[in-house]
Structure 1
Amino acid sequence: MNKTISKLIAVVIACFIGFSGMSQDFNDLAPTPPMGWNSWNKFGCDVSEKLIMEMADAMVENGLLDAGYEYIVIDDCWQVGRDSLGNIVPDPERFPSGMKALGDYIHRKGLKFGIYSCAGSMTCQSRPGSRGYQFQDARTYASWGVDYLKYDWCYDEGQKAQAAYQTMSDALKASGRPIVFSICEWGESKPWEWGEGVGHLWRTTADIRDCYQCTFDWGGVGVLDIIDKQAELYQYAGPGHWNDPDMLEIGNGGMTRDEYITHFSMWAMMAAPLMAGNDLREMDQLTREILTNQDVIAVNQDKKGEQARKFMDMGEHEIWAKPLADGQVAVCFLNRTDQPWKLDYDWHKQTMYFVQDVSLRKYTYQVYDLWQHKVIGKTNERLEHQIPAHGVLMVTLSKVK
């Protein structure tokens, strides 16, 4: 009897250690904001095995993998039903080789495989959701080699968001495979207040639209509106847990060059996930230059993991600052207006009170323009620059030795 009890205790301890290890691994899966590509913004429901393979090929060939992008995420409409055992069934016409084979293809490219589901009984496009099948689906995703799950919030049927997402979080942790968990309930239940440890990123707003500033009755919002909604959430972002202002629209044609640069710059400043949403096979030179700007990406991927704060608000002109791990600071001057901003800035005039390692009065810093890729001055002299309408000036400050 004592021997049997000892064995049971040993099993319980082993299970606890295993679960604790998985929990620790889970919390370490997104030390910097995830970078990748998602099918929804450009293709909606028109997804297929062929398309996803071509996007994986293009991510490698166009330099996005080298720039840090790694996830290929299939959004809604890949699933059509469940079999007699309740297993989720991919569309056999659009994904004839099956999801395991597709995941293997993506992995052979040096990329990671992402997929979509929903906490409700159906997805937003009325495909089968995961409610009641969370643990079964998580095991299925693990068997396919899934590395990332975007989990939506349609047809929730009165569920409590925190509890629903915790259930899928537990299922992923028990699946035996480390899977990044993207909470997508549009910020309705303030997931930034409870999301850490449940998921790795959580949407903060309604769906993005390919416009600088616009609103829709059904909830879509533009870039500037999203920035405003995200501005005060900086305290909730950090390594392993990120505010998510939604995917990128760069390259989809709805904004100007300067607006797309603002879009990418501010997502980098806000430590947001960088999930491209364009057709990677047909990128023009401008789109490629924006999405692969290593200076801007470095700010986004900084290991300190702080979200930028707006430390000066002059109405239609704003100044944001993001402390970096190496004692530098990124600063972004945002021009919200339809007219150029003739900037004439005295670095000694304002104090970035939350940037502990930088003293503009005590030391001189070099000012490096992240879009021109060159030094444009020092902080012991005034900064004069013309910022275009709807544009930004994004710089880093590094101490002059």
Structure 2
Amino acid sequence: MFFGKPKEVSDSAYLAQAQTPPMGWNSWNKFGCNVSEKLIMDMADKMVKTGMKNAGYQYVVIDDCWQVERDSLGFIQADPDRFPHGMKYLADYIHSKGLKFGLYSCAGSYTCQGRPGSRGHQFQDALMYAKWGVDFLKYDWCSDEGQNAQAAYATMSDAIKESGRPMILSICEWGEHEPWKWGKGIGHLWRVTADIRDCYQCLFDWGGVGVLNVIDKMADLYPYAGPGHWNDAEMLEVGNGGMTKDEYITHFSMWCMLAAPLMAGNDLTKMDKDTHEILTNKEVIAVDQDPMGEQGRRFMDMGEKEIWAKPLSNGELAVCFLNRTDFPWKLDYNWKAQTIYFANEVNIHANEYVIRDLWKHKDIGTTAQNTKATIPAHSVLMVRLSKKAK
């Protein structure tokens, strides 16, 4: 198989990608290894028909188990039974919908499900992905065989650049080697925890974390996030049935406060009204996609009650009151009693701000008065502050 010499992707073009956190859908959380051409095409169709594309979701990513072997020349082969027309056909279909196509591989010799990994074939694989039309590569860390993580991911980054096709590189080594300290310039996002599970708070001996566990890990990593380089809080579990509506609202709200990539992981063909409402809330998504690219930070920690703040462009601010308790929080918040000040010139004392509830989609007062609300257990009050016109 002859590719010819592609024109390399420049460092500047590579780094210019993902100026806001990537948004899309990934197959793993709901379907695991049960992936197929028809499934992925159905998901692409539904991403358009349900309004998710219009809300900002772009990438359709096939996770592990699409690949089965290498041919006699070492080129990776898709499962011919599950993907009878091949990956180029599927990528073309997804592109025809105005969406982008993503695939999964692994820095080890084998993927986490025992399929062929990319070790020793990085440049060959990147050429094949480019030929197929891949736009996004999730790159895992199973069977790492003692490799240096930074060097392994840098190799795949170089391979993508030499392939001639810009692709977003998602570093998925679970935060084991602190990729936030070295990932910028190599990849565009990096996982910070083990795999997420569909639960509010849970830990597993064999790996797996809940929503609150991820939030706590992300809390101190805000200095490492920004346009083109994001802390990845993991794929979304919204709609998979393991949490309540309020817990899913918390999950989605906090991912947006944290400027995390938004990768839905549910069955888009079977979304109920609540799931659709959460995943397509454009006012909340706008906080995630704000061009300043600031990751929110825990402004006040009162045990199981927390206040998070995220500076936004145009001198605005997102604030999220997070109720981690099992009981309603009777909020009576005096804005003037605290100082929330960020580099984007938000100053609660010098200016009066209009407060907009991003889940009720309505203004609920200004910072000149206390904000009073009842926040359900395991839920949030998420607001946006905009300077009041004089």
TM-score scaled to structure 2, two decimals? 0.97
Deviation per residue, 1:84-134 (Å, 9 max, x gap): 000001000000000000000000011000000000000000000000000
Q: State which of 227, 231, 236 in structure 1 corresponds to 2:224.
A: 236
Partner of 2:119: 131
**Does the CA-based 8 Å contact 2:20-2:291 persist in structure 1?**
yes
Structure 2 unmatched ranges of 5 or more? none
Q: Secondary structure at the match of 1:42?
A: helix
**Does the CA-based 8 Å contact 2:341-2:347 persist in structure 1?**
no
Deviation per residue, 1:324-366 (Å, 9 max, x gap): 0111000000000000000000001111243541111111100
Counterparts of 2:380 and 2:252, CA distance in 1: 10
Counterparts of 2:152 and 2:258, CA distance in 1: 27
Q: State which of 243, 246, 264 in structure 2 corresponds to 1:255.
A: 243
Counterparts of 1:337 and 1:26, CA distance in 2: 43
Q: State which of 40, 54, 64 in structure 2 corresponds to 1:52.
A: 40
Q: Secondary structure at the match of 2:98?
A: coil
Bigger Cα Rg: 1
1:388 aligns to 2:383 (yes or no): no
Q: Secondary structure at the match of 1:185?
A: coil
1:148-297 correspondence runs (5 A): 148-297=136-285
Q: Secondary structure at the match of 1:248?
A: coil
**Does the CA-based 8 Å contact 2:331-2:371 persist in structure 1?**
yes
Partner of 2:292: 304
Counterparts of 1:184 and 1:260, CA distance in 2: 23
Moved over 3 A (4+): 353-356
Counterparts of 2:203 and 2:194, CA distance in 1: 10
Q: Secondary structure at the match of 1:232?
A: coil
1:370-385 correspondence runs (5 A): 370-385=358-373
Cα offset, 1:167, TM superposition: 0.1
Q: Secondary structure at the match of 1:348?
A: helix
Counterpart residue type for residue 63 of structure 1: G
Counterparts of 1:321 and 1:170, CA distance in 2: 36
Cα offset, 1:367, TM superposition: 0.4
Counterparts of 1:54 and 1:182, CA distance in 2: 24
Deviation per residue, 1:298-326 (Å, 9 max, x gap): 00000000000111000010000000011
Partner of 2:29: 41
Partner of 1:83: 71
Cα offset, 1:23, TM superposition: 1.1
Counterparts of 1:371 and 1:326, CA distance in 2: 21
Q: State which of 59, 75, 79 in structure 2 corresponds to 1:71.
A: 59
Counterpart residue type for residue 264 of structure 1: F
1:329 aligns to 2:317 (yes or no): yes
Counterparts of 2:183 and 2:366, CA distance in 1: 40
Tell me the percent identity. Answer: 70
Cα offset, 1:369, TM superposition: 0.2
Counterparts of 1:63 and 1:400, CA distance in 2: 32
**Does the CA-based 8 Å contact 2:153-2:171 persist in structure 1?**
yes
Deviation per residue, 1:40-96 (Å, 9 max, x gap): 000000000010000000100100000000100000000000000000010000000
Cα offset, 1:203, TM superposition: 0.2
Counterparts of 1:201 and 1:326, CA distance in 2: 25
Partner of 2:342: 354
Counterparts of 2:36 and 2:244, CA distance in 1: 30
Q: Secondary structure at the match of 1:267?
A: helix
Counterparts of 1:105 and 1:79, CA distance in 2: 19
Cα offset, 1:22, TM superposition: 1.8
Counterparts of 1:305 and 1:325, CA distance in 2: 9
Q: Secondary structure at the match of 2:331?
A: strand
TM-score scaled to structure 1, two decimals? 0.95
Counterparts of 1:56 and 1:62, CA distance in 2: 10
